Amino acid sequence: MKHNFSAGPSILPKEVFQQAANGILNFNDLELSILEISHRSKDFVEVLDRAVALVKDLLNLPDTHKPLFLTGGASSQFFMAPMNLLPSGQTAHYVDTGSWSTKAIKEAKLFGEVNVLASSKADNFSHIPKDYKVPSKGAYLHLTSNNTIFGTQFPSFPESPLPIVCDMSSDIFSRPIDAEKYGLIYAGAQKNMGPAGTTLVIVNEELLGKVDREIPTILDYRTHIKKNSSFNTPPVFPIYVSMLVMEWVKKQGGLEAMQKRNEGKSQLMYGEIDRNPLFKGVSAKEDRSHMNATFVLKESGLEKEFLSACDDAGCEGIKGHRSVGGFRASMYNALPVESVQVLVDVMQEFERTHG
Amino acid sequence: MKHNFSAGPSILPKEVFQQAANGILNFNDLELSILEISHRSKDFVEVLDRAVALVKDLLNLPDTHKPLFLTGGASSQFFMAPMNLLPSGQTAHYVDTGSWSTKAIKEAKLFGEVNVLASSKADNFSHIPKDYKVPSKGAYLHLTSNNTIFGTQFPSFPESPLPIVCDMSSDIFSRPIDAEKYGLIYAGAQKNMGPAGTTLVIVNEELLGKVDREIPTILDYRTHIKKNSSFNTPPVFPIYVSMLVMEWVKKQGGLEAMQKRNEGKSQLMYGEIDRNPLFKGVSAKEDRSHMNATFVLKESGLEKEFLSACDDAGCEGIKGHRSVGGFRASMYNALPVESVQVLVDVMQEFERTHG
């Protein structure tokens, strides 16, 4: 049996794989595949409407906040957010917490002034900056809620007089949020939401229409609001699977249940990292991610042996990102606690044999 | 049994559905789903490399021409093409053959001068314009090779001293092309190539780097050439299925075989449209599309009855687009000739009962 700790694309619920495979062979008993039906067919429009309703329901969105299913990944939102929300000459504030926010900052500079309000770059992004005050003047505050590579996560969000634009790619649907605070939320699907191929964007429509620049039709959020994510052919199958995953989340008890489940797993994981004399965690304890636990061997040299022991136990995707090294255990919503226990067992066995 | 004449997303080979469903349950015997593995894993990199190799092989691309698997549909290429290829102040020439080229023209105007070289708009796009000469001055000539809505297709391409930029969304891989002529080819996957969710872009890299404007990183074709379509997480599953479809095309004998197969089907279809006293074709005979046959009842009034007869025979997606009315039979690569025969039988039966 495999235990999938991959950082993304990543584990999804087993029952969703079965439903998705069935949908490919015979969708809704139509004797047609979900891959060959029109995106304007009644059957797919129902899927899309249900997906939108589930986003609203799970995140408890106010009516101003419109969920869109786009493509291009969070990387496309790095430029689309300022293109739509940052009038030229105005300032957007960014908190720099890792590679992804660094990339978001780079793209925003093409559209207006960017103020890096705080950064943990000097510490290789091992913590979330805390000592800053969000100005009251500016277009928005940009945050990256969870940093997959470095294993940090905002434990809570700063008070902000400005609307928050937040990249939630790696922790959306993992805990409840206060949606009112956000002007824009975006997330590539391929962690907690679904397979690679669609990007969820939630935009407060009251913030739109305030920039002067000419925006290509398909890059204007208003186009997609007006056309209910079907201005052109949407990524039918990735949206279908995302809908199935959100149904699963709802059935498990919604985001409160997800949070409890995720905290249980991360407690088990970090408990072992802290207890085991061979290992140590990488990120600041107070900012540890419930999604991605980063850790290293206290004394280097046995990395290959540990990865090989993980492999033997069926634990996949444990190798750390090259910018941090060591190991990373990603524990997204769909990962069962039993898989974390298997990894903990491997670490304990490793202590016995190599301690 | 269903006969899928849908205009897109549309029919794909039956065996591909089976392979795709298997890949969702257990990909490459990894005991993991294709939906949950990393896009940087050896197994997916092999899929992507194979997909690129198949594009090169099937279209016989010169080394200068790089296949990219992007997202956002042809609609995103409407602005990306001029953004990357049209220096401000220079002119791009467009032939206007339907809704899609009209949209492409609209987006190009944001970046430079657009010259509509020829248009069949006055005739509701029922033919492909012929009386024009491509100027030798300009950035490129833009064509839409097949017009899904109106049922027209370029029977051959104009002589052009300029590189051709061509939207081949609805007829790529349906016939051989002379790739050298094209500076850029783009196609949403969801007709002949695969499911919705990826967009094939083939760019002659010698044409890049000639515009001055600042381009967001992910909108610059050079980014994707350099990163082999993996600058960020690509749409894993749509690319996988596209690879399977291209393998199928190759196994059938490649594009010459596809062309023969498609011409056989369209001959059968248009033969019946021309013979049957109840029906008539919509588009000019010399420009009829081998992909989408558009036709109407000579005397209106029985449209609902005919659609209902199609439905009873399992023929799906026959209703014409609202801008043309009547009927449309899309006959993409994967549609078997037997399905066309079923539709022809319905038309003949309709003649007996309503003639």
Distance from CA of B264 to the nearest CA of A (A): 22
What is the tens place of the pLDDT at every residue in B88-132?
Answer: 999 999 999 999 999 999 999 999 999 999 999 999 999 999 999
Q: What is the CATH number of the domain that holds A79?
A: 3.40.640.10
Contacts with B229 from chain A: Cβ below 8 Å = none
Same domain flag for B199 and B346? no
Same domain flag for A218 and A300? no
Residue A20 has its nearest CB partner, among B6, B24, B316, at B24
Residue A78 to residue A208: CA distance in whole angstroms: 16
Query: Residue A247: what residue type?
Result: E
Residue B237 to residue B35: CA distance in whole angstroms: 7
Q: Is residue A287 part of a domain?
A: yes
Burial of B254 (0-12, 13-18, 19+ CB in 10 A): middle
**What is the residue-wise DSSP string for A43-92?**
HHHHHHHHHHHHHHHHHT--TTEEEEEE-SHHHHHHHHHHHHH--TT-EE
Contacts with B231 from chain A: Cβ below 8 Å = 75
Last-in-domain residue among A252, A287, A316: A252
| Mean per-residue pLDDT over chain B, rounded | 97
B135: number of Cβ within 10 Å = 14
What's the CA angle centered on B139, arms B137 and B145, to 5 degrees?
Answer: 105
Q: Beta B164-167 vs B141-144: how paired, if at all? A: parallel
Q: Does B98 touch chain A (CB under 8 A)?
A: no
Average pLDDT over every residue of B16-31: 98
Query: Residue A188 has what pLDDT?
Result: 98
DSSP class of residue A169 equals T
Reduce the DSSP state of residue A245 to 3 states and report it: helix
Same domain flag for A260 and A207? no
Q: What is the CATH number of the domain that holds A270?
A: 3.90.1150.10
Do A9 and B38 count as a contact with CB atoms less than 8 A apart? yes
From A66, A96, A100, A287, active-site residue: A100
Whether the pTM exceeds 0.95: the reply is yes
Query: Residue B247 has what pLDDT?
Result: 98
Do B12 and A24 count as a contact with CB atoms less than 8 A apart? no
Decide if A29 is catalytic.
no
Query: Residue B60: what residue type?
Result: N
Predicted confidence (pLDDT) at residue B309 exceeds the cutoff of 90? yes
Query: Residue B77 has what pLDDT?
Result: 98
Distance from CA of B9 to the nearest CA of A (A): 5
Q: Is residue A191 part of a domain?
A: yes
Same domain flag for B339 and B288? yes
B180: number of Cβ within 10 Å = 12
Q: What is the pLDDT along chain A (355 residues), one digit of tens a residue?
A: 999 999 999 999 999 999 999 999 999 999 999 999 999 999 999 999 999 999 999 999 999 999 999 999 999 999 999 999 999 999 999 999 999 999 999 999 999 999 999 999 999 999 999 999 999 999 999 999 999 999 999 999 999 999 999 999 999 999 999 999 999 999 999 999 999 999 999 999 999 999 999 999 999 999 999 999 999 999 999 999 999 999 999 999 999 999 999 999 999 999 999 999 999 999 999 999 999 999 999 998 999 999 999 999 999 999 999 989 999 999 999 999 999 999 999 999 999 999 8
Last-in-domain residue among A227, A252, A277: A252
Do A37 and B9 count as a contact with CB atoms less than 8 A apart? yes
Do A71 and B217 count as a contact with CB atoms less than 8 A apart? no
Contacts with B237 from chain A: Cβ below 8 Å = 195-197, 237-238
Nearest in space to A128 (alpha carbons), one of A119, A115, A117, A136: A119
Same domain flag for B243 and B263? no
Last-in-domain residue among A205, A230, A252: A252
Contacts with B8 from chain A: Cβ below 8 Å = 38, 233
- Could you tell me if A138 and A120 are in contact, meaning their C-beta atoms sit under 8 angstroms apart? no
Instruction: State both tokens at A248.
Output: 């699963």
- pLDDT cut 90: percent of chain B above it: 99
Q: Is residue A5 part of a domain?
A: no
Reduce the DSSP state of residue A123 to 3 states and report it: helix
The total of structural domains in chain A comes to 2
Predicted confidence (pLDDT) at residue B355 exceeds the cutoff of 90? no
Same domain flag for B338 and B212? no
Q: Is residue B9 part of a domain?
A: no
Query: Residue B64 has what pLDDT?
Result: 98
Do B190 and A233 count as a contact with CB atoms less than 8 A apart? yes
Same domain flag for A295 and A235? no
Which residues have CB under 8 Å from A314's CB, separation 6+? A1, A2, A3, A342
- Could you tell me if B319 and A42 are in contact, meaning their C-beta atoms sit under 8 angstroms apart? no
Q: Beta A113-119 vs A146-147: how paired, if at all? A: unpaired
Average pLDDT over every residue of B267-289: 98
Q: Is residue B105 part of a domain?
A: yes
Same domain flag for B311 and B335? yes
Domain that holds residue A327: 254-354
B49: number of Cβ within 10 Å = 12
Do A195 and B237 count as a contact with CB atoms less than 8 A apart? yes
Query: Residue B324 has what pLDDT?
Result: 92
Same domain flag for B233 and B279? no
Reduce the DSSP state of residue B185 to 3 states and report it: strand
Where on the phi/psi map is residue B228: left (φ > 0), alpha (ψ -120 to 50), or beta? Answer: left
Same domain flag for B244 and B280? no
Average pLDDT over every residue of B209-236: 97
Q: CA dist B74 to A122, A128, B185, B197, B338, Å?
A: 42, 40, 10, 11, 31
Nearest in space to A174 (alpha carbons), one of A263, A84, A50: A263
Contacts with A10 from chain B: Cβ below 8 Å = 36
Contacts with B17 from chain A: Cβ below 8 Å = 24-25, 33, 35-36
Enumerate the H helices of chain B as residue ranges: 14-25, 42-59, 73-85, 99-108, 221-226, 236-252, 254-275, 303-312, 337-354
- Could you tell me if A54 and A189 are in contact, meaning their C-beta atoms sit under 8 angstroms apart? no
Q: Is residue B6 part of a domain?
A: no
Same domain flag for B38 and B127? yes
Residue B172 to residue B190: CA distance in whole angstroms: 11
Q: Is residue A210 part of a domain?
A: yes
Same domain flag for A126 and A176? yes
Q: Does B32 touch chain A (CB under 8 A)?
A: yes
Query: Residue B31 has what pLDDT?
Result: 97
Do B25 and A35 count as a contact with CB atoms less than 8 A apart? no
Do A11 and B197 count as a contact with CB atoms less than 8 A apart? no
Q: Which has the higher per-residue pLDDT, A329 or B323?
A: A329
Q: Is residue B233 part of a domain?
A: yes
Residues 244-273 of B with CB under 8 A from A: none
* End-to-end CA gap in chain B: 27
Average pLDDT over every residue of B175-197: 97
Residue A281 to residue A272: CA distance in whole angstroms: 10
Q: Does A311 touch chain B (CB under 8 A)?
A: no
Q: Does B317 touch chain A (CB under 8 A)?
A: yes
Burial state string for A329-345 with b = 16 or more CB within 10 A and e = fewer than 16? bbbbbbbeeebbebbbe
What's the CA angle centered on B197, arms A53 and B259, to 5 degrees?
Answer: 140
